[in-house]
């Protein structure tokens, strides 16, 4: 029990990640709208398609077009067609009162079952030359009047949809890979200090599992990219930097296999491991921040956090990192024990 409790923990936590990560539904969201242009002073009709929504079952549907907190108009009529479809009708005012002729408005739908469904920058409001005068005015927005639905659900993001769950696997495996690489680095440094060959073997085992994790990260990333960005492989910086770091560690393995003498192999590969890790830091953490990237946290995109990683996601994301790291340690441990057997064989 003393030696394998963490292996059980890895399995249990990973099962929790799979179950909670796959069974928790997404928050309701607005999947698409059939009209994105509204002319001021006229009636705007928008057909909305919701995702995971309950328009039909809810009794008190309300919808708003919002420019800012004190410039909001409410629908005068909502026609629900089932749980997922609804037609909204707005009587638009004849001015934007910001001095501009064109502005994007946010669409908000609220009912007692779903809470609020928000689609930012949904509708382009435009002033035409022959705008008819209308007595309709922009109103105040009262957040307290809205219904709230605080259930445990993952955030709904357009374009991402259900693939937001990939955070628990794709992002977590990169974190786990990094933890394994740091462990290998520590073993390499300790090897250079103590010259204990077992430490070098350990560093090699951790690196080999980290390479497998890196390949998994690249493959899963390719699938995720296909369904959100449209291509398996893009020119995205972070993707290519990650691919390069996998190459660097594959070269580490090639280097190890090309040196026969055990002591020289240990010293050289430990030195290369430390050197490569130090160079990888600007590669992964600094350069992606300088250039535009599709990944969150780079080139002006919001970092991990905000709406990409809210508290509900965190409750599964962090355990996932722990589970995958423990699995990686377990696999490295097996590789290490195998290598020790092989080395003993050679000595005999």
Partner 1 sequence: MKLKNEQKKVDLHLLNNNWSTQPKLMNVKFILTSFLISLPWLVKAESLDFLRSTGKIYSVVVVILILFILISAYLIRLDRKIRTLEEKNNNES
Partner 2 sequence: MGVAIRQFWQLVRKEFALEFRNRVSLGAVLLFVVCAAYICYKVFITINGLAWISLFWIILLFAAINLIQRTFNASYMKRRWNYYTLYDSTVVYLSKYAYNLFFMGLVSVLLMGVMSLFFGNMIKDYPMFLIGLSLGILGMTGVMTFISAVVMRADSNGLLMSILAMPLCLPVLLLSMKVHAVSLRLIQDTAVTGDYLLLGGVDLLIFGIGLLLFPNLWKA
- Give the pairing of strands 29-33 and 102-111: unpaired
DSSP per-residue codes, 25-53:
PBPPEEEEES--EEETTSEEEEEEEEES-
Q: What residue 111 binds from partner 2, partner 1, none (CB within 5 to 8 A, per partner kind)?
A: none
CA torsion, ordered 43, 49, 53, 56, to nearest 10 deg: 60
Which residue, 157 or 289, is less far from partner 2 as judged by CB?
289
Contacts of 282 (CB under 8 A, 6+ apart): none
Residue 270 DSSP SS3: helix
Maximum CA extent, the chain: 97
> Using the rule CB under 8 A, is 250 a contact of partner 1?
no
> Using the rule CB under 8 A, is 347 a contact of partner 1?
no
- Give the pairing of strands 37-39 and 115-126: parallel
DSSP per-residue codes, 171-202:
HHHHHHHHHHHHHHHHHHHHHHHH--HHHHHH
For residues 24 and 76, give the distance between their C-alpha atoms in angstroms, rounded to a whole number.
34
Tell me which stretch binds partner 1 (CB under 8 A): 225-233, 242-250, 296-304, 305-313: 225-233
For partner 1, the binding residue among 78, 118, 197, 215 (CB under 8 A) is 215
For residues 164 and 25, give the distance between their C-alpha atoms in angstroms, rounded to a whole number.
11
Residue 172 near residue 317 (C-beta atoms within 8 A): yes
Binding to partner 1 (CB under 8 A): which residues in 192-211?
209
DSSP per-residue codes, 281-302:
HIIIIIHHHHS--SSTTSTTS-
Interface with partner 2 by CB under 8 A: which residues? 192, 244-245, 247-248, 251, 254-255, 258-260, 264, 267-268, 270-272, 274-276, 278-279, 282-283, 286-287, 290
Q: What residue 294 binds from partner 2, partner 1, none (CB within 5 to 8 A, per partner kind)?
A: none
Q: What residue 165 binds from partner 2, partner 1, none (CB within 5 to 8 A, per partner kind)?
A: partner 1
Q: How far is the CB of 275 from partner 2 (least distance, A)?
A: 6
DSSP per-residue codes, 96-133:
-SSS-SEEEEEEEEEETTTEEEEEEEEEEEE--TTPPP
Q: What residue 275 binds from partner 1, partner 2, none (CB within 5 to 8 A, per partner kind)?
A: partner 2
Q: What residue 193 binds from partner 1, partner 2, none (CB within 5 to 8 A, per partner kind)?
A: none
Q: What residue 342 binds from partner 2, partner 1, none (CB within 5 to 8 A, per partner kind)?
A: partner 1
CA-CA distances (angstroms) from residue 84 to 152, 186, 269, 295?
Answer: 21, 54, 59, 31
Q: How far is the CB of 151 from partner 2 (least distance, A)?
A: 45
Q: What residue 203 binds from partner 2, partner 1, none (CB within 5 to 8 A, per partner kind)?
A: none
Question: Which residues share a beta bridge with 116?
Answer: 110
For partner 1, the binding residue among 102, 223, 244, 286 (CB under 8 A) is 223
Which residue, 102 or 286, is less far from partner 2 as judged by CB?
286
Which residue, 230 or 300, is less far from partner 2 as judged by CB?
300
Binding to partner 1 (CB under 8 A): which residues in 152-181?
161-163, 165-166, 169-170, 173
Which residue, 165 or 238, is less far from partner 1 as judged by CB?
165
Q: Which residues bind partner 1 (CB under 8 A)?
A: 18, 22, 26, 51, 161-163, 165-166, 169-170, 173, 209, 212, 215-216, 219-220, 223-224, 226-228, 232, 327, 331, 334-335, 338, 341-342, 345
């Amino acid at each position: 029990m003393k030696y394998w409790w963490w292996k059980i923990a890895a399995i249990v936590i990973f099962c929790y990640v799979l179950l909670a990560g796959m069974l928790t539904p997404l928050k309701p969201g607005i999947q698409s709208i059939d009209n994105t242009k509204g002319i001021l002073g006229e009636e705007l009709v928008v057909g909305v398609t919701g995702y995971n929504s309950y328009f039909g079952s809810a009794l008190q549907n309300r919808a708003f077009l919002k420019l800012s907190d004190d410039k909001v108009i409410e629908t005068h009529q909502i026609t629900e067609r089932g749980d997922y479809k609804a037609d909204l009708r707005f009587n638009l005012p004849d001015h934007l009162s910001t001095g501009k002729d064109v502005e994007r408005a946010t669409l908000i739908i609220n009912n007692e079952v779903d809470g609020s469904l928000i689609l930012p920058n949904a509708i382009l409001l435009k002033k035409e030359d022959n705008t008819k005068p209308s007595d309709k005015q922009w109103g105040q927005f009262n957040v307290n009047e809205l219904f709230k639905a605080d259930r445990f659900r993952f955030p709904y993001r357009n374009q991402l949809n259900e693939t937001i769950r990939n955070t628990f696997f794709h992002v977590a495996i990169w974190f786990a890979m990094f933890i394994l690489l740091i462990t290998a680095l520590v073993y390499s440094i300790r090897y250079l200090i103590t010259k204990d060959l077992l430490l070098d073997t350990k560093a090699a085992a951790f690196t080999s599992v980290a390479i497998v994790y890196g390949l998994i990260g690249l493959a899963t990333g390719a699938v995720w990219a296909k369904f959100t960005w449209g291509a398996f492989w893009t020119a995205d910086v972070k993707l290519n930097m990650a691919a390069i770091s996998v190459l660097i560690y594959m070269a580490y393995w090639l280097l190890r296999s090309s040196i026969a003498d055990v002591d020289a192999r240990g010293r050289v590969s430990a030195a290369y491991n430390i050197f490569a890790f130090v160079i990888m830091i600007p590669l992964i953490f600094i350069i992606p921040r300088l250039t535009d990237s599709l990944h969150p946290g780079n080139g002006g995109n919001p970092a991990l956090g905000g709406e990409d990683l809210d508290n509900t996601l965190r409750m599964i994301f962090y355990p996932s990192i722990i589970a995958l790291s423990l699995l990686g340690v377990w696999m490295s441990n097996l590789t290490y024990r195998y290598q020790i057997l092989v080395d003993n064989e050679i000595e005999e």
